[in-house]
């Protein structure tokens, strides 16, 4: 089963064009949707999840017309939104049982087994009686995935799932998503490049409602391989280097700035060749879209 998105557009009443003719084919596995805040990622996710309608375009999940058969989509959809609220005084076990009823699992014995299996799968069984208000951020996200997995979904959408998690919780969440993505379509919407690099076999970059890149992480890296150069400079020199070179990224390193420059040839002998990262690709792609030439196009 694959998700097919064609010519999807959405303009809000305030005039913001959140989506501008987006077309994507999303196969089974982990698909990373990258973009800065305001790129249109959440609008796209909410539209796929049947929470809002586009102005134009179509979405199909296998044989299901997503925009026409919303009930059909919801029966096979698992959704973890960016702001997943929980009832703080209810235990994880009781809350998941309630969600299971809403998902149509009405037989008590079946529901008990399903809830038990999901709590084990998300490593929450030992804290199943604990109130959700006492859960850490990572535990709440794992509970969010548990409710998203109810009903054996064919499509799972997770929106900014690792923002604010500590490294240990983030690693646990990555492992869980990787396991899930082996069997169903999983869309990971995020602005954290490393999440896509670590997890996804396919990816897209979205900015200002436009699709800028649709490829695999490996092919994305090939775009900059042999064209990425590094140098350490003083912070006061950055503006000068940005005026003379295509600086795609800069970060503090040992009290100085490490800059990455995109160039077909070595800018000068003071630059060293480096292997590009997906972060380089991300900022290079965004930079091209924001250039005067791109803006005028």
Task: Please give the Cα distance from 174 to 176 (Å, whole number).
Answer: 5
% of the chain surpassing 70 pLDDT: 98
% of the chain surpassing 90 pLDDT: 71
103-117, 162-176, 203-217, 220-234, range with the lowest pLDDT: 162-176
Q: Are residues 37 and 170 in the same domain?
A: yes
Q: Are residues 51 and 172 in the same domain?
A: yes
Q: Are residues 100 and 119 in the same domain?
A: yes
22-31, 68-77, 201-210, 285-294, range with the lowest pLDDT: 285-294
pLDDT at 163: 75
Q: Are residues 117 and 247 in the same domain?
A: no
Of the three residues 173, 189, 215, the one that is the final residue of a domain is 215
Task: Please give the Cα distance from 189 to 182 (Å, whole number).
Answer: 18
pTM: 0.87
CA nearest to 31, candidates 49, 10, 45, 14: 45
Cβ contacts of 46-55, under 8 Å, gap ≥ 24: 47/8, 47/10, 47/19, 48/3, 48/5, 48/155, 48/157, 48/187, 49/73, 49/77, 49/79, 49/157, 50/74, 50/77, 52/10, 54/8, 54/9, 54/10, 54/19, 55/9, 55/10, 55/11
The arithmetic mean of pLDDT across residues 189-212, rounded, is 92
* Sole residue written with tokens 């646990």: 172
Q: In the β-sheet with 256-262, what is the strand arrangement from edge to edge?
A: 247-253, 256-262, 228-233, 272-273
pLDDT at 291: 58
Of the three residues 198, 215, 232, the one that is the final residue of a domain is 215
Q: How many domains does the chain have?
A: 2
294 pLDDT more than 50: no
Q: Are residues 135 and 254 in the same domain?
A: no
Q: Are residues 115 and 194 in the same domain?
A: yes
Q: Are residues 19 and 145 in the same domain?
A: yes
Q: Are residues 192 and 236 in the same domain?
A: no
Of the three residues 192, 215, 238, the one that is the final residue of a domain is 215
182 pLDDT more than 80: yes
Q: Are residues 255 and 200 in the same domain?
A: no
Q: Which domain holds residue 235?
A: 222-296
pLDDT by residue (tens digit) across 55-109?
Answer: 999 999 999 999 999 999 999 999 988 777 778 899 999 999 999 998 888 899 9
What mean pLDDT value characterizes the chain?
Answer: 91
Q: Give the CATH number for residue 117.
A: 3.40.50.300
* Sole residue written with tokens 């290079």: 284
Quote the DSSP letter at residue 236: G
């Amino acid at each position: 089963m694959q998700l097919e998105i064609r010519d999807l557009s959405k303009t809000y009443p305030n005039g913001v064009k959140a989506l501008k003719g987006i077309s994507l084919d999303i196969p089974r596995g982990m698909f990373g949707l990258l973009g800065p805040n305001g790129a249109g990622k959440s609008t796209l996710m909410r539209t796929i999840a049947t929470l809002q309608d586009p102005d134009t375009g179509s979405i199909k999940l296998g044989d299901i017309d997503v925009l026409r058969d919303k009930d059909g989509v919801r029966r096979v959809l698992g959704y973890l939104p960016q702001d997943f609220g929980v009832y703080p005084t209810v235990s994880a076990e009781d809350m998941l049982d309630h969600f299971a009823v809403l998902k149509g699992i009405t037989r008590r014995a079946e529901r008990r087994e399903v809830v038990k299996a999901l709590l084990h799968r998300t490593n929450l069984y030992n804290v199943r009686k604990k109130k959700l208000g006492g859960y850490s951020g990572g535990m709440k996200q794992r509970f969010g995935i548990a409710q998203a997995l109810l009903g054996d979904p064919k499509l799972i959408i997770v929106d900014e799932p690792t923002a604010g998690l500590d490294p240990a919780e983030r690693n646990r969440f990555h492992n869980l998503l990787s396991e899930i993505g082996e069997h169903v379509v999983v869309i990971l919407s995020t602005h954290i490049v490393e999440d896509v690099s670590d997890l996804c076999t396919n990816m897209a970059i979205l900015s200002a409602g436009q699709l800028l890149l649709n490829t695999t992480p490996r092919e994305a890296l090939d775009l900059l391989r042999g064209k990425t150069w590094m140098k350490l400079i003083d912070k006061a020199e950055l503006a000068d280097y940005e005026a003379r070179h295509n600086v795609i990224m800069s970060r503090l390193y040992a009290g100085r700035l490490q800059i990455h420059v995109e160039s077909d040839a070595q800018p000068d002998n003071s630059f060293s060749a480096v292997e590009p990262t997906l972060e380089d690709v991300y900022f290079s792609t965004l930079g091209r879209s924001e250039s005067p030439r791109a803006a005028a196009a």
